[in-house]
């Protein structure tokens, strides 16, 4: 009994000592964070009560909060500290840092779907996969996808032609989203889902549904524990969607591997001599080739994670970018006229011919329009990071373990970087104006080591889709910006879509 008493005493002493030192570290952490001003905070709850607003008012509330507390402020989600950054010189400190690259807590909710692919992974796995995948986004390879961009854009314009008789207008967002899904599915996996032809696809439905479920879970802390979430109706729907999404991707991987083994897929290193060949190579084929030549080939599960990541990042963000650009052009006919005039000049030799990559390279004004749209409405409005090393930001020393919220949507509205920041002005992206700004004043595709690997792909796709639409139709927005409710989902989207009318395109006199 005496020995047991001694052992129990030792356990209590050890645990008490650990608890004491944890509490002391925690107290230092809290005091350090609370040196930064921010919304009122309550014990255990943090600033949750301050941010307790309906989802359709969350964007306006977040922008108002930033206006009140910027440029650097803190909030608390329960026990988790978040420091918000809104200035380019502060954001550069984290974006241009090769060590503080770990993603924030919110990305954990994507793990069941995306695993630890490029978007969600950290450390050595992220580094090795990034190094392996980067060559598959070479511009010469991207050019081989033009046929897919054009083909799916033609289907889109045919679908939109059926809406010309709709004099009261319609929501163009679902049409754009299905087109983007068709494009990314064929380019990422080499497989067609024909989302534009049929909305009954299980895969299409599962992509839409799981995105909603992930966001709703993020917004409800009581659903964060996987055990609790799995018992709910939403948790069961989430699991059913995962089976559909993962099953489809795994089946495609098996088929592509079998085709490669049988010699039925052209390899990426044949691109130079076969340039212009109509046979398409998917990212999955290029990834398989890169993996096979690597010292540490990707497992089937790692392949699945990366392909699912391509699918997630490559359709929703692009669809949002396209929809916002059409909304802005439909609201500013003078800029739409300039885009059309540029297209008329590019296709003057043959107005009816298909778009190619050389045409896209000449679409300078359209490119400025796309960039300005992404400035005002970045598809991903916030990026989360967690500090693995201390960081000095202005007068504040940020501790290890602190989460950062990089507010892209606020950054893009810095008045000292963009005169009249709320006004749609494509000339913000004239070369002489770009040179005047801070290098980190515009980051719709992130920046630094963890920048978006597919940004050239996205820009080429958006040019092709927008040019296809604007060559055939004049777009008229039926709502003003003040009437649009902006929603913060996994992307920045208009709550009720983008309501437009279309008119057959006539030549500008």
Compute the distance between CA of residue 202 and CA of residue 246 in angstroms, rounded to an integer: 12
d(CA 65, CA 86): 12
Beta strand extents in 78-160 (DSSP E only): 80-85
Q: What's the CA angle centered on 303, arms 300 and 308, to 5 degrees? A: 125
Pairwise CA distance, residues 155 & 197, whole Å: 9
Contact 82, 88 (CB under 8 A): no
* 138-145, Cβ contacts within 8 angstroms, sequence gap of 24 or more: 139/456, 140/271, 140/272, 140/275, 141/268, 141/271, 141/281, 141/286, 142/456, 142/457, 142/460, 143/275, 143/357, 144/271, 144/275, 144/277, 144/280, 144/281, 145/187, 145/280, 145/457, 145/460, 145/461
Query: Is 166 annotated to bind ligand?
Result: no
- For residue 71, whether the previous peptide bond is cis, meaning omega lies within 30 degrees of 0, is yes
| Cα distance between residue 416 and residue 420, in whole Å | 9
CA 421 – CA 374 distance, rounded (Å) = 13
* Residue listed under structure tokens 């899904």: 181
Instruction: Count other Cβ atoms within 10 Å, centred on residue 3.
Output: 7
Displacement of CA 313 from its chain's centroid (Å): 5
The answer to whether 290 and 133 have CB atoms below 8 angstroms apart is: yes
Q: How many CB atoms lie within 10 A of CB 146?
A: 19
| Number of neighbouring beta carbons within 10 Å of residue 37 | 11
d(CA 303, CA 287): 8
| Tokens at 135, concatenated | 């060559």
Q: Provide CB contacts within 8 A for 128, sequence distance 6+.
A: 296
| DSSP secondary structure of 461-499 | HHHHHHHHHHHHEEEEESS-GGGPPEEESSSEEETT--E
Give the residue ranges of the annotated binding site for heme.
452
Q: Which residues are annotated as a binding site?
A: 452
């Amino acid at each position: 009994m005496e020995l047991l008493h001694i052992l129990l005493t030792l356990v209590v002493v050890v645990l008490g000592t650990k608890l004491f030192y944890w509490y002391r570290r925690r107290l230092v952490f809290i005091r350090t964070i609370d040196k930064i001003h921010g919304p009122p905070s309550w014990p255990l709850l943090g600033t949750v009560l301050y941010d307790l607003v309906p989802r359709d008012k969350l964007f306006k509330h977040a922008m108002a909060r930033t206006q009140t507390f910027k440029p650097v402020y803190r909030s608390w989600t329960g026990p988790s500290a978040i420091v918000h950054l809104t200035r380019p010189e502060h954001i550069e400190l984290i974006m241009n840092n090769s060590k503080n690259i770990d993603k924030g807590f919110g990305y954990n909710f994507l793990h069941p779907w995306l695993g630890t692919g490029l978007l969600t992974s950290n450390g050595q796995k992220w580094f090795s996969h990034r190094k392996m995948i980067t060559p598959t986004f070479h511009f010469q390879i991207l050019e081989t996808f033009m046929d897919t961009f054009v083909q799916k854009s033609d289907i889109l314009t045919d679908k939109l032609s059926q809406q010309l008789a709709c004099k009261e207008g319609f929501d163009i967002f679902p049409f754009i989203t299905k087109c983007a899904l068709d494009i990314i599915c064929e380019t990422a996996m080499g497989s067609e889902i024909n989302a534009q032809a049929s909305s009954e696809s299980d895969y299409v439905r599962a992509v839409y549904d799981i995105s909603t479920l992930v966001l709703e879970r993020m917004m409800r802390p009581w659903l964060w524990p996987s055990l609790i979430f799995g018992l709910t109706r939403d948790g069961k729907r989430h699991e059913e969607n995962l089976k559909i999404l993962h099953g489809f991707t795994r089946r495609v991987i098996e088929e592509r591997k079998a085709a490669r083994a049988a010699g039925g897929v052209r390899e990426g290193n044949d691109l130079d001599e076969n340039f212009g060949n109509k046979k398409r190579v998917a990212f999955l084929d290029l990834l398989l080739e890169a993996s096979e030549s690597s010292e540490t080939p990707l497992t089937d599960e790692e392949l699945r994670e990366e392909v699912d990541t391509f699918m997630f990042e490559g359709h929703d963000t692009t669809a949002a970018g396209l929809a916002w650009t059409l909304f802005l052009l439909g609201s500013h006919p003078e800029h739409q006229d300039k885009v059309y005039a540029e297209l008329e000049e590019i296709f003057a030799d043959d107005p009816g011919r298909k778009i190619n990559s050389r045409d896209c390279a000449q679409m300078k004004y359209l490119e400025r329009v796309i960039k300005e749209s992404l400035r005002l409405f970045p598809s991903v409005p916030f990026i989360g990071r967690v500090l693995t090393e201390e960081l000095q930001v202005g007068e504040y020393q940020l501790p290890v373990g602190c989460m950062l919220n990089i507010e892209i949507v606020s950054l893009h509205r810095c008045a000292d970087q963009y005169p009249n920041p709320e006004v749609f002005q494509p000339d913000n992206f004239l070369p002489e104006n770009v040179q005047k700004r801070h290098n980190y004043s515009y980051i719709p595709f992130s920046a630094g080591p963890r920048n978006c690997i597919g940004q050239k792909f996205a820009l080429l796709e958006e040019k092709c889709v927008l040019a296809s639409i604007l060559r055939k139709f004049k777009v008229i927005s039926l709502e003003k910006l003040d009437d649009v409710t902006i929603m913060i989902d996994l992307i920045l989207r208009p709550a009720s879509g983008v309501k437009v009318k279309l008119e057959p395109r006539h030549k500008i006199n």
